[in-house]
Amino acid sequence: MRKENLVVVGNGMAGMRAVEELLKLAPDLYRITVFGAEPHPNYNRILLSPVLAGEMTIQDIVLNPLAWYAEHGIALRLGRTVAGINRARRTVVADDGSEVGYDRLLLATGSTPFMPPIPGRDLPGVISYRDIRDTTEMIDAAGRYRHAVVIGGGLLGLEAANGLRQRGMDVTVVHLMPWLMERQLDRAAADLLQASLEARGLKFLMERQTEALLRGESGRVVAVRFKDGLEIPADLVVVAAGIRPNTALAESAKLHCNRGIVVNDTMQTYDPRIYAVGECVAHRGIAYGLVAPLFEQAKVCANHLAHFGIARYTGSVTSTKLKVTGIDLFSCGDFMAEKGGVDAIVLHDPGGGVYKKLVVRNDTLVGAVLYGDTADGARYFQMVKDQQNIHAIRDQLLFGQNASVGDAGHAGNAHAALLPDDAEVCGCNGVCKGDIVKAIKGQGLFTLDDVRKHTKASSSCGSCTGLVEQILASTIGGAYTPARSKDKAMCACTDHSHGTVRQAIRDLHLVSIPAVMRALDWKAPDGCASCRPALNYYLISTWPGEAKDDPQSRFVNERAHANIQKDGTFSVVPRMWGGLTTPQELRVIADVAEKYRVPTVKMTGGARVDLLGIRKEDLPKIWADLGAAGMVSGHAYGKSIRTVKTCVGAEHCRFGTQKSMGMGVKLERMLFGMWSPHKVKLAVSGCPRNCAEAGIKDVGVIGVDSGYEIYVAGNGGIKTEVAQFLCKVKSDDEVMEYSGAFLQLYREEGYYLERTCHYVARVGLDHVKAAVVDDATQRGELYARLRDALQDYEDPWTQAVQQPAVRREYEVIQLVETKG
Amino acid sequence: MSRWIEVCALDEIARQGSRVVASTQGGIAIFRTADDRVFGLLDRCPHKGGPLSQGIVHGDTVTCPLHGLKLGLADGEAVAPDKGCARSFPVKVEGGVVWLQLG
């Protein structure tokens, strides 16, 4: 088959990202030619500022070395500008007169710096700040001259000024507007920023209009004169007055442009054979200058170039982070709060160097500016993107300090910017801040997932995710964008989110993993270790009795009904209902521990006994012995009901108001065999002294004289979350019904590996109350579905003991050597 | 000298599952893919020694149950960006019987 010709004009980040995405989807569809005006392979333009500041070199920031182009058979024409497009003949003409034909054309011409019409702008020593050439010219000037003037106090101008200052120049920033970065910051934050930059030796001239750049005797620029007559010396003038989409080529080809090459949601221009991505594009009237939206566009464009035809780009919410080492600044969304119907929640502490403003419209966060403490930036940005209702947390929203960072594993540090390079960020995998920064810069990483893959940081318990996001954001600036939660793909096997997949399983009545993968166009034929367990859970929880449980799609612990340990042995935890046991049970456990030489016997946090260090082949034998005494699986290994912890309660305790042990046993028996998105722990306390610690459980029940209070969505793990009050009830039966209905709602709506605290944070406590407390019919139905799903559950240990086919899974094959 | 040794019937290994064979060289995990191909790897993850036989099998790959390293079943090589390699053993199926070659 004849390969189609794809010509890409522009060898920058957007164009090459589109090519990379295309090669992933359809590696052999096109013969690809790339034109690049610069003499360099694709590099990470975002990191020019660290290069200027002397923190990195040009070699460090190359994203696609020349070998990459060769490897993919891409014809790369470096240092070549495309002079024209002949749409009738479908060819592009290069500046050397050569002509290349295309079936599809991708324009990724980027943007050009805006050069205001100031006399003297053509003098030697006057440059813009856009590419490697500008950067090397600045570095060179810094070594030879003293006075630098940066015209423009925006993001780029400040990064240039900082870099030049770092290289020892005397730098003055000139800005037309009353405050810096007026497109990203409000005045209060900008004033703090200016003060901080002044402390580093930068000078500022605000509300000044440049009249002329003056020529010295050598012919080079020597000074800047302003409209008010002031003159300051300047051996180097960097003009950073904004960028303009580079539409010259498109306009010469009569493609419709309006402050950018106009494209539709599939990144197609008005000529259906011509696509465009990146800073040159105007999508729904917006031209983006940050890399995150460009990558989203590239992905959509590649999908259509690959003839998949399903992706749409619908615009981006952007965030800004200044890449000046040691300055913590973040803004996102609509942060000015100038329009009506909008509230600003503000914390302003100039002495402490902290400013926070949250802009709220109709109980939804629409924008944020943070200065000095950006620990919650990623979380606020996520809320803006998710359009999450914040009604219930409005009064604490501003003080959600460090909410995106777990409580343990990083020595209490919540502010990445303050950490030295050798500070351990990820306590699970021993990854330091310096390792992460090095990987982001060296490997060209842009997403949290990339960082997890390459460094292992935040890939185990996730406690440090917020810190890693901060490091990512401060290293690559506005390039970092978390995905909208509801759009986040489950894993690399699919573009669908957990929510979409759950919905499809229900709507299309899908009852097996292959059926789901077929219906939703899974990319890997049998998925991966991440999506298969999720799909298995969604199927059995949506269609109990109908969907068949697939053991091969369960993590080993749930397949072996025991917890795997670091040396490959397992642990066995028999169930002790409500934490109660008997002398006879304890005797059998002691016998088992001796008989199988169990090296370690300990109490778990859930008030039962853990037998550790057991070989897999011994598991069924131990279960047989325990089972003979009536003991069953404790499911200490599952995304399932774990324990119901109880205090002594009114049965014995002189303070007890309710019989917490009895209540706990009833709850645990009801929930036996309940699989859930993640593990589920309950506790019942007999009085408000709360000895069973019900305040940090998924469901916590606290007895009071007149009945029980029910709390939900607590968590004592990575991030301690206090359970929230759900309702008060009078009887034991009501405790069962309300708790059961809540857990069933979580089972039906939760995403796999989402604890109840995360689930409730996502859907809101109001949603839970509406279903479980306010609506008796819905509560009854939820409760009935839970009991229905659990009615036929059999103890998995008994099954493994009794069924030879299951038992075989635990046996090691001994080889019989045969001769001949 | 290499010798082929009979392991078990193919049916005794679950699809997308594995069995462990005891050998003088340590446990060897015999994997069966969804499309009935079989592979043999030393049952020790090159990362921290996890039992690969207990991992989830997907495509031509197994994910180690301890820390999630992915290894190719055919050659035992870790999938990039991870590094490491588990020793692989020749395995074949003849007449519904799985054979393993020990070096």
Superfamily grouping for domain A126-241? FAD/NAD(P)-binding domain (3.50.50.60)
Using a CB-CB cut-off of 8 Å, the residues of chain A touching B65 are 555-556, 564
Q: What 3-state class would DSSP assign to A198?
A: helix
> Given an 8 Å threshold on Cβ–Cβ distance, is B49 in contact with A567?
yes
Residue carrying structure tokens 């205001």:
A116
- Residues A674, A641 contacting (CB under 8 angstroms): yes
With 0-12 / 13-18 / 19 or more C-beta atoms within 10 angstroms meaning exposed / middle / buried, residue A546 is exposed
- Residues A272, A105 contacting (CB under 8 angstroms): no
Q: Distance from B50 to chain A by nearest Cα, in Å?
A: 6
Enumerate the H helices of chain B as residue ranges. none
Domain boundaries B3-92, CATH class: mainly beta
Per the DSSP assignment, residues forming a β-bridge with A91 are A86, A101
Task: Kindly calculate the radius of gyration of chain A based on its CA atoms and give it in whole angstroms.
Answer: 31
What number of C-beta contacts closer than 8 Å exist between A and B? 87
Report the share of chain A in percent with pLDDT over 70: 96
The token pair at A557 is 């612990």
> Given an 8 Å threshold on Cβ–Cβ distance, is B56 in contact with A812?
no
Residue carrying structure tokens 């180690």:
B64
Chain A residue with CA closest to B79: the answer is A453
> Given an 8 Å threshold on Cβ–Cβ distance, is B58 in contact with A524?
yes
pLDDT value at position A405?
A: 64
Q: What is the pLDDT of residues A684-717, one digit of tens each?
A: 999 999 999 999 999 999 999 999 999 999 999 8
pLDDT value at position A819?
A: 44
The token pair at A237 is 């003038």
- Residues A180, A194 contacting (CB under 8 angstroms): yes
Q: Is B12 on the interface with A (CB under 8 A)?
A: yes
> A17 CB contacts (<8 Å, ≥6 apart)?
A277, A294, A295, A298, A299
Using a CB-CB cut-off of 8 Å, the residues of chain A touching B55 are 529, 556
Instruction: Give the other-Cβ count within 10 Å of A726's Cβ.
Output: 22
- Residues A17, A294 contacting (CB under 8 angstroms): yes
The token pair at A104 is 């599809």
Q: Which of B48, B58, B65 sits opposite A528 (nearest CB)?
A: B58
> Given an 8 Å threshold on Cβ–Cβ distance, is B3 in contact with A560?
no
- Say which range, A321-325, A704-708, A756-760, has the weakest mean pLDDT: A321-325
What's the CA gap between A513 and B15, in Å, rounded? 14
Q: In Å, how far are A164, A286, A496, A710 from A674, measured between CA atoms?
A: 62, 49, 26, 20
Pick the CATH number of A641-790 from 3.30.1360.200, 3.30.413.10, 3.30.43.10, 3.30.70.20: 3.30.413.10
What's the CA gap between A223 and A215, in Å, rounded? 7
pLDDT value at position A422?
A: 84
What's the CA gap between A369 and A389, in Å, rounded? 19
C-alpha A85: how far from chain center: 40
> A759 CB contacts (<8 Å, ≥6 apart)?
A677, A713, A746, A749, A750, A751
DSSP A241: -
Q: Is B7 on the interface with A (CB under 8 A)?
A: yes
The token pair at A644 is 């119901």
Q: Distance from B81 to chain A by nearest Cα, in Å?
A: 6
> Given an 8 Å threshold on Cβ–Cβ distance, is B55 in contact with A529?
yes
Q: What is the pLDDT of residues A105-147, one digit of tens each?
A: 999 999 999 999 999 999 999 999 999 999 999 999 999 999 9
Mutate to test the interface with B, among A549, A552, A816 (most CBs of B within 10 A): A552
> Given an 8 Å threshold on Cβ–Cβ distance, is A459 in contact with B3?
no
Q: What is the pLDDT of residues A501-511, one digit of tens each?
A: 999 999 999 99
Using a CB-CB cut-off of 8 Å, the residues of chain B touching A459 are 68
Q: What is the pLDDT of residues A451-499, one digit of tens each?
A: 888 888 887 777 788 788 888 877 877 666 666 666 788 988 998 999 9
The DSSP element (H or E) to which A814 belongs, if any, is strand A813-814
What's the CA gap between B95 and A288, in Å, rounded? 62
> Given an 8 Å threshold on Cβ–Cβ distance, is A816 in contact with B22?
no
> Given an 8 Å threshold on Cβ–Cβ distance, is B58 in contact with A815?
no
> Given an 8 Å threshold on Cβ–Cβ distance, is A812 in contact with B22?
yes
- Residues A34, A80 contacting (CB under 8 angstroms): no
- How is chain A split into domains, by residue range? 4-111+245-305, 126-241, 319-485, 489-554, 641-790
> Given an 8 Å threshold on Cβ–Cβ distance, is B14 in contact with A809?
yes
CATH code at A4-111+245-305:
3.50.50.60
* Range 17-36 of B in CB contact (< 8 A) with A: 17, 19-23, 27, 30, 34
Q: Is B93 on the interface with A (CB under 8 A)?
A: no
- How is chain B split into domains, by residue range? 3-92
pLDDT at A71 over 90: yes
The CA-CA-CA angle for residues A469, A474, A475, to 5°, reads 100
The token pair at A124 is 């030697």
Q: In Å, how far are A334, A544, A601, B41, B93 from B11, measured between CA atoms?
A: 61, 28, 37, 19, 11
Q: Which of A525, A529, A813 sits opposite B21 (nearest CB)?
A: A813
Average pLDDT of A186-215? Answer: 94
- Residues A561, A619 contacting (CB under 8 angstroms): yes
Cα-based torsion angle of the residue sequence B19, B23, B26, B29 in order, rounded to the nearest 10 degrees: -20
Note the CATH architecture for domain A319-485.
Answer: 2-Layer Sandwich (3.30)
Chain A residue with CA closest to B22: the answer is A814
Longest alpha-carbon distance in chain B: 39
> Given an 8 Å threshold on Cβ–Cβ distance, is A556 in contact with B6?
no
Average pLDDT of A736-742? Answer: 98
pLDDT at A415 over 80: no
Q: Which of A552, A555, A560 sits opposite B16 (nearest CB)?
A: A552
Q: Distance from A381 to chain B by nearest Cα, in Å?
A: 29
Mutate to test the interface with A, among B47, B58, B62, B83 (most CBs of A within 10 A): B58
Average pLDDT of A533-558? Answer: 95
> Given an 8 Å threshold on Cβ–Cβ distance, is B48 in contact with A566?
yes
What's the CA gap between A43 and A11, in Å, rounded? 9
Q: Distance from B78 to chain A by nearest Cα, in Å?
A: 13
The token pair at A572 is 């066995």
pLDDT at A404 over 60: no
Using a CB-CB cut-off of 8 Å, the residues of chain A touching B30 are 813
Using a CB-CB cut-off of 8 Å, the residues of chain B touching A567 are 49
Chain B residue with CA closest to A813: the answer is B21
Q: Distance from A569 to chain B by nearest Cα, in Å?
A: 9
Q: Distance from B25 to chain A by nearest Cα, in Å?
A: 12
Q: Which of A526, A566, A808 sits opposite B66 (nearest CB)?
A: A566
With 0-12 / 13-18 / 19 or more C-beta atoms within 10 angstroms meaning exposed / middle / buried, residue A200 is middle
> Given an 8 Å threshold on Cβ–Cβ distance, is B56 in contact with A533?
yes
The answer to whether the A4-111+245-305 and A126-241 domains have the same CATH topology is yes
Per the DSSP assignment, residues forming a β-bridge with B93 are B98
Averaged pLDDT of chain A:
91
pLDDT at A820 over 50: no
pLDDT at A228 over 70: yes
- Residues A243, A116 contacting (CB under 8 angstroms): no
Q: Which of B6, B22, B81 sits opposite A454 (nearest CB)?
A: B81
With 0-12 / 13-18 / 19 or more C-beta atoms within 10 angstroms meaning exposed / middle / buried, residue A522 is buried
What's the CA gap between A661 and A651, in Å, rounded? 8
Q: What 3-state class would DSSP assign to A233?
A: strand
pLDDT at A615 over 60: yes
> Given an 8 Å threshold on Cβ–Cβ distance, is B70 in contact with A529?
yes
pLDDT value at position A403?
A: 57
Using a CB-CB cut-off of 8 Å, the residues of chain A touching B10 are none
pLDDT at A419 over 90: no
Q: What is the mean pLDDT of each run of 10 residues along chain B (103 residues)?
A: 86 94 92 96 94 96 93 94 92 95 84
Q: In Å, how far are A247, A291, A295 from A243, measured between CA atoms?
A: 12, 14, 19
Q: Is B9 on the interface with A (CB under 8 A)?
A: no
> Given an 8 Å threshold on Cβ–Cβ distance, is A568 in contact with B49?
yes
